[in-house]
Every structure is written in C-alpha cells, then in structure tokens.
Amino acid sequence: MSTTFKQKAPGENYGFDYSRSGNPTRKCLEECIASLEKGKHALCMASGLAATDLVVRLLKSGDHILSMNDLYGGTNRYFRTMKQFGVNITFVDATDIDKFGSAFQENTKLVWIETPTNPMMNIVDIEEVVKITKEKSNALVAIDNTFATCYFQRPLEMGADLVISSMTKYMNGHSDTVMGCVVVRDDKIAERLRFLQNACGAVPSPFDCFLVNRGLKTMHLRMKEHMKNGLAVARFLEGNSRVEKVLHPGLESHPQHLLAKRQMRGFSGMLTVFIKGGIEESKIFLKTLKLFTTAESLGGYESLAELPAIMTHASVPKEQREEIGIADNLIRLSVGLEEEDDLIADLDQALKTAIP
C-alpha cells in the first residue's frame, strides 16, 4: 500500500519511486491482464471511463472519433463532453458495415467499438472494422471488451490496436471494486499511454489492484457459470408468453448469431429482454424480483436487473435512445452465479405479477 519507496541514492530507485507513477501490486495486475488479453502492455485506471479517457488523450483538438450509436450511456456522455476540447464524435450503426465505412472523415483518428453492445447486445465484426479502418485511415481501433471479456473474446488477435475493459464488471467479478484497463501490443502507444497514466494521475489504489488480481483467479470458472445460467434464462424468457423479445447472441434468433459464434468462444451472462407492456409493467417487474437485485452495473456473482431508459442510459439523449430501441419495456439482465432454477423461478413470478 506504500505511496513512496526508499531510494538507493537521489534519483536511484529499486524499481519504484512513487505509487502514482508505478506500484508493485498494480504492476503485477497489469502483467496478468496483458497476458490474458494476449497483449504486451496493460495500464490500469481508476474506472472503466478513466480508461476510456486515457485512450482519448492520445488525440488532439481537431481530431475525430468514429464510434457507435449503441454504447454504454456513460461512454456516450463522455464522448459528447469531449466536443468542448475540439474532439468531434460521430455515432453510427457499426453493425451496418457500409454505414460505418461511409462515416470516416479525413481527421478520423480513433474508432471506438463496443461488442456485444450495452444494452442492445449488438455484435460488431471486429476483423471487418479493422480492415475498413486501415484501408480508409490511419486511425487506431479500440474495442470495449467489457461485455464479452478476454475469456470469450480477444480483439487484439483480430487486429484491434487497443482493448478497453471496465474491470468493475466480470474481470473483478465481485461488485466491490471500480477499475478499468487498456491493453495494447505496440510499444510506442504503450509508452505514450504510460506517460499519460502518470501525468494525468487517474490510477487505482494498490488495494483495489489486489482485489482485482484475486478476482481474476476465478474468472475462468465464473465465466462458464455465467454463460450456462445466461443461456438458460434467455431460453426460458424466449418461450414465455409475457415476453416480446429476447436479445442474447447465443440464441439462434439473434440477428448476428453466426457472427457471434465466429468471433467469440462463448457468452457472458448479459442479455436484454423486452417484456409485454410499458414503464409501469417494467417497474412492477423489477420491484417484484427477489433474487435478481434491481441495480446498475453488471458482471458480478449476484444477478442484477435494470431499466436502461431511466437508469444506465438516462444520460443518452432521448432521440438517440429511441433510435437504437431503448424502450420503456427493455430490461437488461446480468445473470449471476446463483442456481439456474432459482433464477428462472424468480423471473417467472415477477413476470406473472407484472403482467397478470
């Protein structure tokens, strides 16, 4: 936990001098994450959005970011904030590769993709995005891998330049630490990011790094269980008369199911369900859940349920929310590690109460 380290002589240290600049516990975690993502360098930040901010600091005023219309609400809000610093952003439907390709500008320097997306569970073809980006520009491709995790998807192996994750979610897996990371292979990009990490200072505490390091040790077991429970819940909901639609890339009904199977080894516990009714039925449903907890965030051992329209994506302008389909009856589920039958029974009783 030390913030400072004794030096042999002035300016001669034993590897560390000050914990913002470098810390043994953080270094251990960064090396572990770089290895898991098949990268070379990892940088840990105080949150997922701090990791996003670190990447955007590679840009300068006048640059352009090409991103997606379906992103985590906080990422959408952050990108819109960057306009005040002269960095412009375009939000496009990146699942339509022609639309994506036609949205490049001569000053596009960063492409930012989430896949699967939060909360619409859209899948973006990473290799196709990389191919088109490198043909049309010298922009970097950054993939937000939070929903899939490096256990199921490794964007660097598909040509991405940077991978970002909110480790608050599956990687820590215990809903007790806020943290983010950026992973790269390129030494020069890593050197610039390392400078910015220290100079801008949004680093995590050594204790949080210890917690995430410990969480990672069971990630391979947790992700398998999240996948099993998530698919069981998705299949239950898909056949339920009180449900309009279920979005889970592992279901054959998902519009990009084949792409998902091609670029991912499996699926986390994330899924989205449209129940019959509107805001009132959604609120009753969420209030009636007993095992699922109504709360923001995702990826922990406990199952969570939320209403993006008024919770995680409330900051997204209403017209953008409507454009991508974030409706009042859209419920996002983060299926945890509880007993499969208990999870299904909880959803069943809440649906029957909300929609008699």
Catalytic residues: 20, 72, 144, 169
What are the E-state strand segments in the chain? 7-9, 12-13, 41-45, 64-68, 88-92, 108-114, 140-144, 162-166, 180-184, 243-247, 270-275, 293-294, 304-306, 330-334
| Tokens at 113, concatenated | 């993709």
* The one among 17, 186, 296, 323 contacting ligand P1T by CB under 6 A: 296
Q: What's the closest the beta carbon of residue 178 comes to ligand P1T, in angstroms?
A: 5
Place of tokens 């939070």: 146
- Count of CB atoms situated within 10 Å of the CB of 140: 20
> Looking at the DSSP assignment, which residues form a beta bridge with residue 206?
none
Decide if residue 149 touches ligand P1T (CB under 6 A).
no
Select the residue interacting with ligand P1T from 53, 70, 114, 208 (CB under 6 A). Answer: 114
25, 75, 95, 115: which one binds ligand P1T (CB under 6 A): 75
Of the pair 156, 212, the CB lying nearest ligand P1T is at 212
Choice between 118 and 282, CB closer to ligand P1T: 118
| CB-nearer residue toward ligand P1T: 78 or 104 | 78
3-state DSSP percent of the chain in helix, strand and coil, to 5: 40, 20, 40
Part of the chain binding ligand P1T (CB under 6 A), chosen from 141-149, 230-238, 258-266, 274-282: 141-149
Q: Closest CB to ligand P1T among 69 and 240?
A: 69
Region of 32-40, 44-52, 232-240, 283-291 interacting with ligand P1T (CB under 6 A)? 44-52
Nearest distance in Å: CB 72, ligand P1T: 4
263: left (phi over 0), alpha (psi -120 to 50) or beta: alpha
- Whether omega before 204 lies within 30 degrees of 0, making that bond cis, reads no
166 binds ligand P1T (CB under 6 A): yes
Strands of the 140-144 sheet, one edge to the other = 41-45, 180-184, 162-166, 140-144, 108-114, 64-68, 88-92
Choice between 137 and 163, CB closer to ligand P1T = 163
Cα atoms in the Cβ-side hemisphere of radius 13 Å centred on 258: 0
> Which of 68-76, 241-249, 266-274, 338-346 is the region at the interface with ligand P1T (rule: CB under 6 A)?
68-76
Distance CA 350, CA 242 (A): 10
Q: Is the distance from CB of 274 to CB of 285 less than 8 angstroms?
A: no
# residues contacting ligand P1T (CB under 6 A): 19
Q: Among residues 88 and 294, whose Cβ is nearest to ligand P1T? A: 294
8 Å CB contact between 110 and 53:
no
- Binding segment toward ligand P1T, per CB under 6 A, in 24-32, 41-49, 100-108, 217-225: 41-49
331: closest CA among 260, 255, 276, 291?
Answer: 276
Among 203, 251, 298, 307, binds ligand P1T (CB under 6 A): 298
Q: Pattern of binders to ligand P1T over 169-208, x per CB under 6 A?
A: ---------x-x----------------------------
Q: How many angstroms separate the CA atoms of 107 and 62, rounded?
A: 7
Q: Which CB sits closer to ligand P1T, 101 or 116?
A: 116
**Cβ distance 316 to 326 under 8 Å?**
yes
Residues that bind ligand P1T (CB under 6 A): 47-49, 72, 74-75, 114, 118, 144, 146-147, 166, 168, 178, 180, 296-298, 312
